[in-house]
Amino acid sequence: MSRRPVIAGNWKMHNLQQEAADLTNGIMQELRAEDKAALPEVVIAPTFTALYAANKALKDCGCGKVRLAAQNCYFETKGAFTGECSVEMLKDAGCEYIIIGHSERREYFGETDEMVNKKAVKILAEGLVPIICCGESLEQREAGVTDYHIASQITKALRGISAADVAKSIIAYEPIWAIGTGKTCDSVEANRVISMIRNVVKGLYDANTADAIRILYGGSVKPATIKEQMAQSDIDGALVGGASLTADSFAQIVKGAM
């Protein structure tokens, strides 16, 4: 099955509104000459306060080459949940994708596999696409439990979700030890883990679902690494961190995935 690549930029806690608008416009300018049909799905994930500015820039352009994501959500529709944003609110802000389960959310804010599952269920119910993150720490890798740990994360994240909804979803494998460190997981090893994730999905559902789901690599992705990563059999794109904060480097990664 041919899977359309996805290049998603996670801006994390960077960019005020004008900076977000400028970066969005810069990315679109860098991609202006590219055929929309030939591009991967290009996704940007500003912080909550910059979603409006980025969405306005996307609408003003009208080229449809870049789509909007949020970096997190809450699984309740509304209520006394101070500081949270519901999926409905993010959909209203123009988001089509939501990143959930990022290692920073898990480590710093106590996000659990159960919470990731509840968020995924809610995102899919609202017609949006979850980008479900998974990955191992350096300690887990050195202990030889990478596959077990990630298989457990995926199994719990997808609990109760239909095969049709899983096929629409995106998984991002992010070895925690390679995020923001400048270290990149060897492409062959990253592909091995991603192939293992696909096999977990196959075991939970079926071969068609496993073939349909897009699985990205995330962890210090750079313009210099993307072509080798995309040449692998099971890597369907990238969740980009620091290199998504400048239009030129992010656009180079997008073009490298074509």
Q: What is the phi/psi pair of residue 78, to 5°?
A: -165, 170
What is the percentage of the chain residues whose pLDDT exceeds 90?
Answer: 92
Site of tokens 């940007």: 44
Q: How far is Cα 197 from Cα 195, in angstroms, rounded to an integer?
A: 5
Whether 174 is a known active-site residue: answer: yes
Q: Which of 102, 104, 111, 136 is catalytic?
A: 102
Q: Which of 30, 111, 136, 174 is catalytic?
A: 174
Whether 34 is a known active-site residue: answer: no
Q: How far is Cα 115 from Cα 12, in angstroms, rounded to an integer?
A: 20
Return mean pLDDT, the chain.
96
pLDDT of residue 100: 98
E strands present in 135-236: 170-173, 214-218
pLDDT of residue 94: 98
Q: Tens digits of per-residue pLDDT, 157-187? A: 999 999 999 999 999 999 998 877 777 689 9
CA angle 85, 89, 90 (to 5 degrees): 85
Q: How far is Cα 193 from Cα 216, in angstroms, rounded to an integer?
A: 11
pLDDT of residue 177: 85
What is residue 107's three-state secondary structure?
helix
- CB-based burial, 129-141: b 16+ in 10 Å, e otherwise: bbbbbbbbbeebb
pLDDT of residue 185: 85
Which domains does the chain possess?
A: 6-256 (3.20.20.70)
pTM: 0.97
pLDDT of residue 1: 54
Q: Tens digits of per-residue pLDDT, 113-159? A: 999 999 999 999 999 999 999 999 989 998 999 999 999 999 999 99
Check whether 2 has a pLDDT greater than 90. Answer: no
Q: How far is Cα 178 from Cα 184, in angstroms, rounded to an integer?
A: 5
Give the chain's end-to-end CA distance (angstroms, integer).
17
